[in-house]
A and B are shown apart, each in its own frame.
Chain A
Amino acid sequence: MQLNSFMMDIIASELEDAVGRENCSTREIDKLTHSVDYFWLSRMWADRGERMPEADIIVAPKDAKETSAVLKIANYYKIPVTTWGGGGGTQGGAIPVVGGILLDTKRMNKIYDVNTRGMYIECGTGAIYKHIEWAANEKGYATMHYPSSLTCSTVGGFLAHRGIGVSSTKYGKIDDMTLQMEVVLPNGDIIETSPAPKHAAGPDLNQIFIGSEGTLGVMTKAQMRIYEQPEERRFRGFLFHNMTDAFNAGRELLQKFKPSVMRLYDEAETSTLIKKIVGVEKKGAFMNVAYEGPAALVEVEHKILMDIFNKYGAEDLGSEYGEKWWDEKITFFYPGNMMDLPQCFGTMDTIAPYDKIEKIYWEMKKAIETNFPQARFIAHFSHWYEWGCMIYDRFIVDGDKVPKDPHEALRLHQAIWNCGVRTALANGGVVNDHHGVGIKLGRLMKEQYGPAMQVFEGIKKQLDPNGIMNPFKLGL
């Protein structure tokens, strides 16, 4: 519908009635700051002095009840609703591309309970994850969810796109860390998922909403796991002379125990980022492993690690680089260290079993470097499982090779992404590992899922028949 100024006032007054006038805004500054996230295209657009699509009104409910009232209003008037947590996503998932209501969750930031018997924190999904980490730390525990965006993203943001932290190999992804959630459906109904995450009471409701990127409702409250602080956390850096040995060593290690951190950097990333931040000067593929828990167990794990990695010819670099890496794990992403405009860049993280992952890496590298000779390709492999691991591969095009015209720059960006992700899919990978889909990769979802996509479409149609929730995201 056309939101003329009269109707806009009518709708705004209803929203103000629902959440309080002070929690609704049509101010330029609020529209502007909710229009640019961490998606390269939105950043490039702003960099070129262009305004991104903006919401008509920003609404900040304080809880599920207020969220429900907002969604009921939105459904009645058939106004799009885009949910915004921290806005730190890379896939454009939080950008209000068709205007309407921008639902900012950050007022839902209450920490209700640090439950050291049930080993979880119950909080509003608008809480910044670092704040729930502080709450855990104050009681002597930890969330063990340490992504680079820990300090800027909300609990709901991580849930929305199935986020992951650097200690995931031992502690899991965000979807492994969630016990129960409260969700507001598009029609305004407030539901709770199963009281325990492991059960035989039908399919897992948590996992329907986790990763749904605001297309199926709004997650408003969650119980997130906490863990004991490890008695010891030990690091070891290694240098592999070829990637095959590194994959074999990693796979074999995972059959024995789960380290917390495992990160393998290809030669290109070792000689650039790792050299700059961690100080490793030698050529090869750097791998950092952290293992933690009771000191006695750590000692046993150390022996297993050294034996296996020695078998595959890994050069032991000691603990220094690993410790440095841990200290600097977020430094990689600060301005000045990270890729930045005017460069064109993207992270095409994908995941596959060990029998496919190395091939995916080489095929993606070849596809990007052959089809886009102006691009560099660097990668690391983090988040390892018993069965496979994730590639965090990036393309970088230097600024002087990026078209000046923003529309042409957008086309180049899209073409590189199409090439990279389609190569991953053709070789057994997935659209994305942990950054989500958003508007960036929605078009490729059908290519991955084929007729399976109708499952998602069916759920969407049932829960959101008016299609108001985060339109054009997730390929829905």
Chain B
Amino acid sequence: MLISQKSKEIIDSCRFCWMCRHICPIGNATGQERNNARARMLALSLVEREAEPLSGVADNIYECAMCEACTKECVTGWDPVKVVGEVKLELALNGETPEYVNTMLDNIEKSGNVYGKTAICDALKAAAEKHSAKTDTLFVIGKTAMYNSCTNAKRAIELLEAAGVEFTVLADEPDTGYEMSFLVGAAQETKDVMSKAAEVFSQYKTVVAYDPADAKVMLREYKEWDVGMTAQAKTFTAYVAELIKDGKLNVKKGAKKYTAQDSHWLARSLEETEPIREILSACGEVSEMLLNRRDTMLAGNLIMNEYMPDVMKRVAEDRWINAKNMDTEILVTESPDEYELLSATKPEGIELMTVEEVVLQCL
């Protein structure tokens, strides 16, 4: 395989080590031996030794949510997710990506998003149109929310309006490249998509990414892959926390008890864990799940939901069990993926809210 020397070292280090098995949301949901970092690395080590074809591991590679729980857990610093990203690229370059991935790539080419959707809900469209004028701040909805979480994206716009912030929402919002990076890693095509987006984003001083996944690529991959973007990227959660701190959002503390469902993109990839707690504690009491902050557990990924919906359902259900075990009253999400998948599996007796919903309620 044409992968980096570092990835080869990771493969040979992780192939017989199970220390991160317990933390893999996919392995926990499926109970499948192949769904853990050691199994994946063992299989890849046999590909490296020509005892297994690359095509034999393709599906297994796409079963990884790239949530970096295993990477965070490894005390000796190995990063199985890096390998997954590189092998995705290798599969793409060899024309060996699974059919369902090809379908999603076709969708991106034709419709601009993996879901193959073209229609945005009218309410979001109308809310966005009010902010078409150029300002210093660009609010990026992202493909996931635009096509799957319309109401929440609209609420986020309403919250920024309530803060009196001047901001722009683009009718033809460019693709951040998150979807491509998730599907084929650091392919030239991914970098091209990112560069086009960065060119647009650079016309603003600040870019606020509603979706933590988009924020992650802007703040991490753009830098790692030399995608020049001059605007300052901020996560929506951190931006809202700033607005509260600056007195632009006058929230009133109530008696409700909130529990954060930390987005792994924010908590692990960007090491941002406190803004959501600052927001929630300004609005009410905060309680924690056992696995919180950088130890957070994935509650769903909508791209993976396209090809393994049963597993995504179980992933979300597992997170609800974590929440119930700690007597959570209101679970608060940062990520549209997690909101949508948790919403679809919500048990009785616990509320589910987004960050913007919480703040709007306590204004």
Interface set of A (CB-CB < 8 Å, partner B):
28-30, 32-34, 36, 38, 43, 46-51, 58, 60, 84, 86-88, 104, 106-107, 109, 126, 128, 130-131, 134-135, 137-138, 149, 151-153, 330-331, 333-337, 340-341
Contact = CB atoms under 8 A, between A and B. Distances in A.
A30 B34 contact: yes
A30 B19 contact: no
B57 interface: yes
Interface in B1-56: 13-23, 28, 31-34, 38-39, 42-43, 45-46, 49-52, 56
27 contacts: A29-B57, A30-B32, A30-B33, A32-B42, A32-B46, A32-B52, A33-B42, A34-B33, A38-B16, A46-B46, A51-B51, A60-B31, A60-B32, A104-B32, A104-B33, A107-B31, A109-B31, A130-B22, A134-B291, A138-B290, A138-B326, A151-B18, A152-B38, A153-B18, A334-B75, A335-B16, A335-B76
B50 A126 contact: no
Given A32-B42, A104-B33, A335-B16, 10 more contacts: A29-B60, A49-B46, A49-B49, A104-B32, A138-B290, A151-B21, A152-B18, A152-B21, A153-B18, A334-B19
B188 interface: no
A331 B19 CA distance: 10
A31 to B, nearest CB: 10
Nearest to B23: A151
Contacts of A340: 13, 16
B189 interface: no
B154 to A, nearest CB: 36
A47 B15 CA distance: 9
Contact of B19 (A33, A135, A152): A152
Nearest to A40: B16
A106 B45 CA distance: 24
Nearest to B48: A49
A86 B290 contact: no
Contacts of B31: 60, 104, 106-107, 109, 126
A137 B290 contact: yes
A87 B17 contact: no
A335 B42 contact: no
Contacts of A84: 33
Nearest to B289: A138
B187 interface: no
A126 B33 CA distance: 12
Contacts of B339: none
B186 to A, nearest CB: 25
Contact of B14 (A50, A131, A335, A337): A335
A307 to B, nearest CB: 36
Q: 4 smallest A-B Cβ distances: which pairs? A: A152-B18, A49-B49, A106-B31, A33-B39
B22 A131 contact: yes
Given A38-B16, A130-B22, A336-B13, A29 B34 contact: yes
A130 B295 CA distance: 14
Contacts of B49: 48-49
Contacts of A330: 19, 75
A283 B325 CA distance: 48
Given A60-B31, A151-B19, A330-B19, A32 B13 contact: no
A322 B33 CA distance: 35
A29 B45 contact: no
B56 A29 contact: yes
Interface string B46-84: 100111100011011000000000000111101000000
A32 B41 CA distance: 11
A458 B39 CA distance: 37
A129 B97 CA distance: 35
A126 B51 CA distance: 30
Contact of B18 (A49, A87, A331): A87
Contact of A331 (B28, B46, B75, B291): B75
Contacts of B28: 109, 128, 131
Contacts of B33: 30, 33-34, 58, 84, 87, 104, 106
Contacts of A341: 16
A46 B38 CA distance: 13
Interface string B315-351: 0000000000110000000000000000000000000
Nearest to B50: A49
A29 B43 contact: yes
Nearest to A128: B22
B76 A337 contact: yes
A335 B18 contact: no
Given A151-B21, A151-B22, A46 B76 contact: no
Contact of B56 (A28, A131, A151, A333): A28
Contact of B32 (A46, A88, A106, A333): A106
Contacts of B22: 128, 130-131, 151-152
A336 B76 contact: yes
B45 A46 contact: yes
Contacts of A86: 18, 21
A128 B186 CA distance: 35
A30 B60 CA distance: 10
